[in-house]
Amino acid sequence: MSTREALIQEILKQPEPLLRQLQQYLAFLLEQQKHGANGTSVPAAEAWPAGYFQETAGAFAGEPLERPPQLPFEKRAEW
């Protein structure tokens, strides 16, 4: 049985209120995909500003990383 057939069989078992919710959800997903809001349909070239990686890659190269001093533990009341 194909995925499509299995899905149709499962849909046929469901009550009408659930099917309305499913229809609304599918419409929402299609709208999101159409506008690229979920990130799947936006080409990589449009996802980042032009030259972003060329300008930022290696920006901290050669700079030492310094960790600030550790803060003291928080004092809490006894139970």
Q: What is the pLDDT of residue 63?
A: 82
Return the structure tokens found at 45: 């070239």
Q: Amino acid identity, residue 19? A: L
Helices (H), 14-68: 16-35, 44-47, 52-56
Q: How far apart are CA 63 and CA 42, in angstroms?
A: 35
- Rounded distance, CA 40 to CA 20, Å? 25
pTM attached to this predicted model: 0.42
Judged against a pLDDT cut of 80, whether residue 35 lies above it is answered with no
Mean pLDDT computed over every residue of the chain: 83
